[in-house]
Chains A and B, each alone.
Chain A
């Protein structure tokens, strides 16, 4: 059982470049989330989705876009990367009525 899988695991971008982070879950979960983790700040919610075809803004959505075209996938896009987006990005999923979120292993993104 793979759980939550994120690709890629590492990436270096130049300022202004774009990229998409992919999150896939095989647990048939309704809810999916993207967080970023920065030193001394814990994890902050970027965007989330409560079902296929729906997305919503979290705490720090600026500079990011998301899509949930398929229930098992949640994509996080950076249209024009900035050094402030250097961070570790975590995807998570949870089932309807569940009490636990399952996290991926993270993507370490550096923007130079």
Chain B
């Protein structure tokens, strides 16, 4: 079955790097995603990685995928207070966006 797990909470200081981790169980995942949710708002796609890639970098964001261990991580460099939000890992098994979400990691960035 499909199952995506994340740690619930991460606290960092402004300027540090943040690393949010995710594990998934279905090896047939096609795409893996990171979404950001700010308080009272919907989900915003941050980045995604195709399952045949190991790494993707997009400005301050670096996504690492370890297919053997079914482990996905999101690294945010130079974390800012505006990065405080809930971050969701999600996987897509089928060709469209029938997403399976993790529980979300609440990132708190302190000045």
Q: Enumerate chain A interface residues (CB-CB to B < 8 A).
A: 4, 30-31, 33, 35, 40-45, 48, 50, 58, 90, 92, 94, 96-101, 103-106
Contact = CB atoms under 8 A, between A and B. Distances in A.
B42 to A, nearest CB: 4
A94 B96 contact: yes
A101 B45 contact: yes
Contact of B96 (A4, A58, A96): A96
Contacts, number: 56
Contacts of A4: 42
A88 to B, nearest CB: 10
B8 interface: yes
B102 A33 contact: no
Given A42-B4, A42-B101, A99-B48, A90 B42 contact: yes
Contacts of B43: 43, 90, 92, 103
Contacts of B103: 40-42
A14 B87 CA distance: 32
B84 to A, nearest CB: 18
Given A40-B103, A90-B43, A105-B42, A99 B98 contact: no
Contacts of A45: 98-100
24 contacts: A33-B98, A40-B8, A41-B103, A42-B4, A42-B102, A42-B103, A42-B104, A43-B99, A45-B98, A45-B100, A50-B96, A90-B42, A94-B97, A97-B95, A97-B96, A99-B31, A100-B45, A101-B45, A101-B99, A103-B42, A103-B43, A105-B41, A106-B40, A106-B41
